[in-house]
Structures are given as C-alpha cells and as structure tokens.
Amino acid sequence: MKKCISLILAVLMFSCIALLSACSSDPVDSDAGEGDGKSTTGAYQGEVNVYNWGEYISPGDDGTMDVIDAFEKKYNIKVNYTNFETNEELYNVLTNSNSTYDVIIPSDYMIERLRSEGLLEKIDFSNIPNYKYISDRFKGMSYDPTDEYSVPYTWGIVAIGYNTDMIEEGSITGFKDLWDSEYKDSGILMFNNSRDAMAIAMQLCDPPIDPGSESFTREDIDRATNKLIEQKSVLKKYVMDQVFTEMEGSQSGLAPYYAGDIMTMMDNNEALSYCLPEEGSNLFVDALCIPTTCKNKENAELFIDFMCEPEIAAANAEYICYGTPNEGALELVDEEMLESELFNPPDEYLDKCYTFSNIDDDIYAYMQKRFVEACSASAEVSEVEKKTVNPAAVWGVGIILLIIIIATLVIIVLDIRRAVKNRGRINKI
C-alpha cells in the first residue's frame, strides 16, 4: 500500500535488472543449470504470476537479498512480477481486464471485499507449512475471520514524521497538530487518498467517528469533509510518494505517513523524528492471496510458503521497513530496527488502533467525491462554510430575504391599485 518511491522508477529498475540477467545467461552452456536451480537448457519448469505493491520485496540491491531470484533458483519456477499503486487499481485489474495473476498482495479491507465477492481461492494450508511462524495476533482478523483466504505478509501503522530543525522535538503528540496554525510555516502535509485522510479527520470530529466502522453514513462523510476543509488554511499540500522529497529534503516539516516509510525518511534526514499519534491510528495488514482466476495454484502456494520462510520474511522486512507478522523472522531482524516503535510498536499502543473494513460501494464513491471537493476547496471556502452553519448568520440572511419579499409584494400591490384607478379614469372618459 503505500510505498517508498515512484512506481515508474521501480518498474524501470526491475526491467533493467531483468534485461541484464537475460543478456548474461548462456543457454548453450552445459553447466548453466548447476547451482542455479534451472535445467541445463536454462528453461524453467513452471511460472507464477505475482502482483504486488511497488518497492515491496527485497530486490538484491546494496547487499540485500534478491528474493525473487532466490525463489527461481530454489524451485526452477519463473516469477512474472508486476506492480500496482493502490488497492483500487488491483481490484479494477482483477475485475475489468484479461490479466491473470496467481499471487496478489492486497490490504485488509480489500481482502474482505474480494472474499465477499467470491474473487479469492481458499488456500490449501497443507502446502504452507511455514504458516506456523505467523503470530496469533494476525490470525482470525476481521477481513478473513476463518483464516482460509490469506497469509499475512506485512503490517504497519500510520504515524507522524516531523523535522526537529523546524519544530521542537517532543512537541508533536497527535493528529490534532496537523490542524495547528503554529506549524503552518513549517509546511504541513496530508495524505492524498480519501481513506487515510478521511480516517484522520474522523478521529478529530466532535464527537469522534470510528474510522474502523463497518459502515458510514453520508453525514459521517460530510463531517469528516468539513474537518478537512478546516485544515486547508494551514495545509501546504496533499501528497503520497512526494512526501519523501518534501520531508527528506526539509521542504516540509510535518506529515502523517506509513511508519515504515517514515523510518526510511529518517535514515535519509537526521533532522526527522516521529510520534505515534495519541489518538490511536490505523493498523493495516497486507496479505498474500490467490485470486480465483489463477492458473498456477500449486506454484502460488509454493511462493506463499517461500515468503513465510523466516530468512525470506526477515529480508523483506528489513528492506521494506514494515512490521513482519512472522515470529521466526523477528529473531533474525536487525536489533536496532526491532527496537524501533515505528517497526515494532508496543502492544498497548496497538490496542488503541483500528483496522479498515470494506464499505459499501455507494458510500465509498461518496467518500471519494467529497474528498475531491475538500482537496479543491480554498482557505476562503473553508471560512464561508463555517459562516453558513452559523445560526445567527442564517437568521440574519432570512430576515433580509423576508424584508425584500415584503417590499416586493408592497410594490406589486401598489402597482395594481394604480392600474385599477387608471382603468377607472379611462372608463369615465
């Protein structure tokens, strides 16, 4: 969900690596199959089509493990690997295109939607022996209560990153600070997607709205929209991947974002710090699933099991900087990372968090519409909206309109009386 750099760069880098690998292979060499899992002709014995977020698997750069290459060598199965940017893009591809995938990695609420619409295959867990490493905390969750359709891959929370050269360290405590005019000059950023932005606004409404609710009303969406409009007077811009440029380059000073990505930004800018919002936050889980359109189910389950091997899960976690639900991997992850609250928040904080549920299509569409309206609203529009809900202002406008109506009626009556008198004079003549 939610990833570190632009999808375009990720695709270009992966394409270059694949091209270089193809150019360096020698299918005529009789020793080509030794030690690399391939047959002596260089041919694979099968394939698996994987659809994942960008920058969401350890690629082998800068000394990291090349997870895809490791799988291909171990099982002699070709991985056809492509990326998506949002859960909604994934859904549209699955339902409105001829593309077929064997393994997908959607987020919690999208898993619930895909499952309820019959778009996911049940997983044969006898083929996933490494599932034993998955923590009980991530089993039986609302998006897959019977644990039949998904295997947790990563998890994380939404936190707040801020620049201590612009903002006093320790002064940021929660989402409410994103509305504080004191920090306007430092440059306040907000999520440029409806679900995350609306969730934060819902938490700050009075009274608060539970962003983890299974359903919302249009009134809930309207209240959250008004809260976002209130923020416009102090907001610099809405961002997604651009947050890295803004925060790492000290162009902005305050932003909510995914905790793992905040860790990455902190590695690239020593002035950055973080806080876990005191209001609680979104706990999200991305999981490995098999769509009903898959053509290589056996290979898909082999790939899922491979991703659950502790060494593989640890390599992915260290690269992505997102939490791993794999208890075996936690024993292998770098100690400094393990001690970070961004990577491994304390259980007492997780108990304050919520997960997103799938919501009805019409409500989601309304949320999207209202979010677009909030994004396009100016600070002046925000002030106008506040005034229109002021009872005194409403009464004042009503009285003025009433006076205008009465005056208009009086003029009309007088005109009629004049016309009648004039007609009488004409008749007398």
Q: What is the pTM of this model?
A: 0.75
pLDDT of 394: 54
**Domain covering 7-155+285-346: architecture:** 3-Layer(aba) Sandwich (3.40)
List, in sequence order, every residue forming a beta bridge with 160; answer none if it has no partner. Answer: 256, 275
C-alpha dist (Å) from residue 368 to 136, 213, 221: 34, 17, 10
Q: What percent of the chain has pLDDT over 90?
A: 75
Residues 6+ apart with CB under 8 A from 349: 157, 276, 280, 341
3-state secondary structure of 300: helix
**Spatial separation of the C-alpha atoms in residues 173 and 204, rounded to whole Å:** 13
16, pLDDT greater than 50: no
* pLDDT higher than threshold 80 for residue 42: no
pLDDT band at residue 343 using 50, 70 and 90 as cut-offs:
very high
- Supply the angle between the helices 87-96 and 108-116 in degrees, to the nearest 10: 20
What is the CATH code for 156-283+362-384? 3.40.190.10
pLDDT surpasses 90 at 38: no
- Which segments of 66-109 are extended strands (E)? 78-84, 103-104
106-136: per-residue pLDDT in tens? 999 999 999 999 999 999 999 999 999 999 9
Could you give the residue range(s) of every CATH 3.40.190.10 domain in the chain? 7-155+285-346, 156-283+362-384
Please compute the mean of the pLDDT values over residues 147-172 and round it to a whole number. Answer: 98
Average pLDDT, the chain: 86
Q: How confident is the model at residue 275 (pLDDT cuts 50, 70, 90)?
A: very high
User: In this predicted structure, what is the pLDDT of residue 34?
Assistant: 34
H or E element, residue 397: helix 391-428
Please compute the mean of the pLDDT values over residues 358-375 and round it to a whole number: 95
C-alpha 319/C-alpha 123 separation (Å) is: 27
Contacts of 243 (CB under 8 A, 6+ apart): 189, 255, 257, 261, 265
Give percent of the chain with pLDDT exceeding 70.
81
Half-sphere exposure of 45 (CA within 13 A, CB side): 13
Q: In the predicted model, is pLDDT for residue 268 greater than 80?
A: yes
277-331 pLDDT, tens per residue? 999 999 999 999 999 999 999 999 999 999 999 999 999 999 999 999 999 999 9
What is the C-alpha to C-alpha distance for residues 290 and 211, in angstroms, rounded to an integer?
Answer: 28
